Every structure is written in C-alpha cells, then in structure tokens.
Amino acid sequence: MMKKMAEEEAERRRRKPRDWDYKGQFREFNAYYNLSAYDRLPREKFADARRYLEKKMFAGRKGETRRQERNRCIKGVKAIQRKLGIPDARYREILLQLTGKDSLAIMDNEELRKVFRHFQQLQGEAAAEPGLE
C-alpha cells in the first residue's frame, strides 16, 4: 500500500516515482507508529495499520494532502477566533473542552476537523444574532 501511495503521489505530480517518494511513505508510517523500521510493527497492530494506510491512501485522492487539510483547518480556526474576538484564554478553554488539548499544533487531523466545525458553528451563531456581522 505504501508503494502504491508513493506511485500515486508521483503520478499526481506528473513524474516518475523516485527513491525519496518511497522513503517518505515509510518514514511517515514509522513516525506514526513510533517505530525504528516498519517491520517492527507488532502483529496486534496490523489491522489498525491497514486501516491507517487505507484512510491515508484514500484521503490523498481528494486532491488535498493531509498536510494541506491540516493547514486549512488551523488557518480557519485562527481566522474565526480573530473575527469573533475570542480571547486567547477562552480559545484555549474551548480547545480543552473539545479535545482535551489546548493547542492546535498537538492535535491530529480528526481533532482539528472537530475544532474547525465547532468554530464554524460559533461563527454562524454570531452571524445570526442581531447587531453582529
């Protein structure tokens, strides 16, 4: 699956796959599971690893990489925070309530999406109130 993802990524970039394409996929996998090498993955994590790879493989087909999605969510949350004038202390309280983490930087993509949706709701509610944008 990692080989296929590297080849699809190279194809999207309209070039032939190179060594670093494959190495990058393996490096990201190893980092996700905190491994020194992919073949050190414990047997009991195989099913989870397969789901992770499938999710990653199909996520990349939307045209937006996981990193791009992450950056979009972070920028969106920060923009809404500024627009609504939410103080930093309140902002961090909201993050803690939603995810148990007080910083966007340490959240995974699923948590970022959850926070972004919540901030979009806050923005919608603020826009619906009379006298506000």
Are residues 60 and 66 in contact, defined by beta-carbon separation less than 8 angstroms? yes
Segment 40-60, tens digit of pLDDT: 899 999 899 888 888 877 775
- What pTM does this model have? 0.53
Q: Check residue 105 and report its DSSP letter.
A: G
From 60, 75, 57, 63, select the one nearest 112 (Cα to Cα): 75
Q: Is the pLDDT of residue 62 over 60?
A: no
pLDDT band at 130 (very low <50, low <70, confident <90, very high): low
Alpha helices in 13-133 (DSSP H): 19-32, 46-59, 66-84, 88-99, 109-128
What is d(CA 25, CA 17) in angstroms, rounded to the nearest whole number?
Answer: 12
pLDDT band at 64 (very low <50, low <70, confident <90, very high): low
Q: Is the pLDDT of residue 111 over 50?
A: yes
Residue type, 92: R
